[in-house]
Structure 1
Amino acid sequence: MSTGRELEQMAILEKRVTQLIASYHEVRESLDQARYIIHNLQAVIDAKDEEIKNFQNRDNISKIVNTIAAEPANSTELKLKINEYIREIDKCIAYLRD
């Protein structure tokens, strides 16, 4: 037969377990939110890396065009043609990824 003291201890233990479960759920929710944020930030980083790569390619193209073409009119035409080729290559790469 349980005494009043044992019932009191059981009630205290039950209260602590309930508090621990509540704390666990809060921490779990925070962790899920952090994972979601990390996933979104990684997507942003990947997009920015792709933009940087594209800008570097454009810069390299400009350098090549300036080296090849002495006249500004030829330089612009050559730059446009190279950019067109690069866009086509990017389309092919995207198609191959899918």
Structure 2
Amino acid sequence: MSVIAEIIDTLENKVGKLILKIQNLEKNTQELHIELAKSAKIIQTQNTEIEAFKSQYETLKIANSLLGSDENKRDTKLKINSLIREIDYCIAQLSD
């Protein structure tokens, strides 16, 4: 009977250790999910900032061209023509 009792004790110890490992793994998984969510939020914020900076950069390029810089004149002319077409379209819509 003592052999069976030792086997049972050994199994109980091993099951207890496995349960602790499972609990630790679940805790780690939850922490990783939280960290992943935080990282995703940071990435989203950074993407938004990047888009805002791109827009500001384009605006500054156009403003620089309007001030007399020859570097981006073609882009500025294209942008102005695009704006004129949009204004003409709006006027046409209003006159209908």
Q: Same fold (TM over 0.5)?
A: yes
Aligned residues: 68
**Unaligned runs of at least 5 residues, structure 2:** 69-96
What does residue 40 of structure 2 align with? 42
What does residue 31 of structure 2 align with? 33
Over residues 1-33 of structure 1, what are the superposed CA-to-partner deviations in whole Å (9 max), with x where a residue is unaligned? xx1111110111011001100111001101110
Q: Normalising by the residue count of structure 2, what TM-score does the alignment of the two structures yield?
A: 0.66
Mark the structure with the bigger radius of gyration: 2
Runs of 4 or more consecutive aligned structure 1 residues displaced over 4 Å after TM superposition: none
Identical positions, percent:
19
**Larger relative contact order (CA 8 Å, sep ≥ 6):** 1
Over residues 37-62 of structure 1, what are the superposed CA-to-partner deviations in whole Å (9 max), with x where a residue is unaligned? 11101101110110011011001011
Q: Normalising by the residue count of structure 1, what TM-score does the alignment of the two structures yield?
A: 0.65
Within a 5 Å distance, the mapping from 1:1-98 to structure 2 comes to 3-70=1-68
